[in-house]
Structure 1
Amino acid sequence: MKTRIRHYRKLRRFTQSDLADRIGTTAATVSRLETADMKVSMGWLQRFADVFNVQISDLIDEPGAPGRVPCLGEISRTGALLAVADDGSVVTLEAPAKDPIALRIGESIGPYCAGDVVIADRMAPEHAARALGRDCLVEVGGQASGFGRFVSSDDGRYFLVPPEPGAQARSLPTPDWIAPVVMLIRYF
């Protein structure tokens, strides 16, 4: 069975050794699983899904599936095509998230342009440490409370720093959920 393990590894910018360390195996085994030189069991798929924070079904290759665009390679700063992808690589337009939500940026703020769509991955408050230092949507008291950089203080309080330069950080009670941004879609 052909999988999308390599795709998600590259999307997360892991080397085969990085990924091997995270799932408790060797880089050689990761290579064999990526190239289908070794049978990929449901156990292996679950380990990869946990590391990539995706569903097992996201790891199973479905040629011609909607939302997949062939990837020709990488472009350098000079505009040169650096690496021609001859391995059937694709760019996935699916959100790399277990519980995705989307937000449309209404007006340009900080690094975001009006019309951008950000995809965020909702997580429970006990996983807040994984969201620290990332742009997030936060819900408190059953209502979406704001968007910005999610940070904490030495005394364990949470703050949301808006993306607009110079904006005042807001103190937050314990959130109902936190949704760090995992994908940005910008239309031209």
Structure 2
Amino acid sequence: PESRADGATLNQGHIDMPSYFYRFILAISLLLPLAAQASDASDFVAASSAQQAELLEAWAAKPTAERVELLEALRDGRVAADSSKRAWIENNDQYVPADAQAPAAADAPTPDEPRKLRLNNRLRGLIETALASHQLLAADTQLRMAAALQLQKSARPAQLELLTERVASETDSSVKR
């Protein structure tokens, strides 16, 4: 087989496609986290109560800074859903779409149509635990300390790896204790 300048190889007159295929897969895989973040709120409002609990436990084990706003809105009772299961967040007495990049639907609701989510006590506890996990990533020492104290009471087994990593990387001795 002879090589071409673009990295593909000619094999008896046929272009060897794996290099193009791998580049395509790599490009798609790099975009997936962006799509996943954009849909966290949508996934949550579309899920059943049991699925919401699973999402919260997964989020607590793998925190990301981008999810903090959603968790705070859930904690504060400011997340709503419309009849099409689109997520909305209440800010200053107005509902704004949780996913600003979502395509507009033909039946887009008016701002007064979303209904606030009803959360049971189990979900409220899981929200607090997930939020505390996310706050372990904060730059503010006091916030990390409060999160560590919260997690001493409510950490889940799935969070063990995260907690071990955060203790090892913590620079403030008062938080580490």
TM-score (norm 1): 0.24
Higher relative contact order (CA 8 A, sep 6+): 2
Between structure 1 and structure 2, the one with the greater Rg is: 2
Structure with more helix by fraction: 2
TM-score (norm 2): 0.25
Structure with more strand by fraction: 1
